Amino acid sequence: MNVVTCIADLRDRARKRLPRSIFEYADRGSYDEVTLGRNRSDLDALQFRQRVAIDLSQLSVATTVLGEPWTMPVAIAPTGMAGLFHRNGEICGARAAERFGVPFSLSTMSICSIEDVAGAVRKPFWFQLYMMKDRGFSEELMGRARTAGCSALILTLDLVVQGLRRRDPKNGLSVPPRLTLRNAWDIAIRPAWALGVLSGKRLGFGNLESRLKEIGGLKTMAQWTASQFDASITWKDIEWLRARWPGKLIVKGILDAEDARLAAAHGVDALVVSNHGGRQLDGAPSTIAVLPEVVDAVAGRCEVLFDGGVQCGQDVLKALARGARACLIGKSFLYALAANGEAGVLQALEIIRQELQVSMALAGCTDVRNVSTSVLRS
């Protein structure tokens, strides 16, 4: 078996172990995947300044975000359907994050429920919410998150309508996975994945079971989005949410300086510069390109987090240099989860930490809290 030395190795294992429909749900983007490509190419284009003859005997990647100590400035992003990438995938991710000392974010569209995850860990995790047309159901989800002890609520704003992800319908993506003539062989040659997922706690969306019974179930993610997500949401709804959520409030999907100013003005504790991993508005800029203007726009009124293509410690260092407080990993998390469950996620986090440490050292930076634009070539 090949030795894993980077996130790309975990991605390769995930590709081999997963049916195409599941793998490409995480791996690919929307429309022509222009924004997906920009996320990667724009990060690659940034260059470090190599520095020498600096005392590196004391080097730290520990930080504090939203008042919480993190062992490094990386958290696990909310990712839908993680439980289809590995048996009880959300529980695996939460346990790995707890062991490593970073936050785990649970998606509304998770396979394991809020209660499933809460029963498996001791440290509070974050919960991600989509605003529903039925505000009563949104309040119910928030209430469950409060009962579970979730320390932060992430409101995702960039998926009120779903971008056209052309590969999903071609691959026959469904929840729970269905055996069809088109995908029978793809599943049959992956018995370990199939048996693992089938033996998990759930096969459908654990947080939505009661709601799905009311509306008679769903066939696709796009169907649920169109019928349940509220496309009329405005900043007044963030005020409504802020009044009802007592913990930290984070908004995700900010890609414009004006929206960043509005978010800060509405009392959020943090925002996430995100284009949904290149899976929503194709033709939008990369997240690393807009990060500095977002940081300038909020002017310290809230913390700025970053996602979009983070696959190594050097990506983290580049985002910090451009003003982010910390990064979230989504695709990288799912690759690691599919590759080897909880152990794979721990391995991915450790790879990123080691890469971050080495990159900081060679750039002459000894404390991750003090990273600035000075580590980059202008």
Residue 304 forms beta bridges with which residues? Answer: 271
The answer to whether the beta carbons of residues 251 and 263 sit under 8 Å apart is: yes
Taking the chain, what is the end-to-end CA distance rounded to the nearest angstrom? 42
Cα of 322 vs its chain's centroid, Å: 20
d(CA 329, CA 334): 9
* Residue 258 CA: distances (Å) to CA of 104, 235, 244: 28, 12, 25
What domains can you pick out in the chain, each with its CATH number?
A: 7-375 (3.20.20.70)
pLDDT at 291: 98
Q: Which two tokens stand for residue 128?
A: 């991600």
pLDDT at 164: 85
Indicate if 276 belongs to the active site: yes
pLDDT at 1: 57
What are the two backbone dihedrals, phi and then psi, of residue 36, each rounded to the nearest 5 degrees? Answer: -55, -45
Q: Which two tokens stand for residue 349?
A: 């986090």
What is the pTM for the complete model shown?
0.94
The answer to whether the beta carbons of residues 337 and 344 sit under 8 Å apart is: yes
The answer to whether the beta carbons of residues 72 and 102 sit under 8 Å apart is: yes
> Residue 178: enclosing H or E segment and its boundaries?
none
Q: Which of 88, 87, 125, 115 is nearest to 209 (CA)?
A: 115
Cα of 229 vs its chain's centroid, Å: 19
Per-residue three-class SS string for 235-256: HHHHHHHHHHCCCEEEEEEECC
Buried b (16+ CB within 10 A) or exposed e, 312-334: bbbbbbbbbbbbbbbbbbbbbbb
Q: What is the DSSP letter of 375?
A: G
Per-residue pLDDT of the chain (378 residues; tens, 9 = 90+): 589 999 999 999 999 999 999 999 999 999 999 999 999 999 999 999 999 999 999 999 999 999 999 999 999 999 999 999 999 999 999 999 999 999 999 999 999 999 999 999 999 999 999 998 989 999 999 999 999 999 999 999 999 888 888 888 888 787 667 767 677 788 888 989 989 998 999 988 899 887 777 766 555 666 767 778 888 999 999 999 999 999 999 999 999 999 999 999 999 999 999 999 999 999 999 999 999 999 999 999 999 999 999 999 999 999 999 999 999 999 999 999 999 999 999 999 999 999 999 999 999 999 999 999 999 998
d(CA 191, CA 194): 5
DSSP 3-state assignment of 104?
A: strand
Q: Which position among 87, 95, 202, 276 bears the catalytic label? A: 276
d(CA 47, CA 166): 34
> Residue 327: enclosing H or E segment and its boundaries?
strand 326-329
Is the preceding omega at residue 191 within 30 degrees of 0, hence cis? Answer: no
| Secondary structure (DSSP) of 199-218 | TSS-SS-GGGHHHHHHHT--
d(CA 337, CA 323): 29
Q: Where are the beta strands (DSSP E) in 114-216?
A: 126-129, 152-156
pLDDT at 219: 56
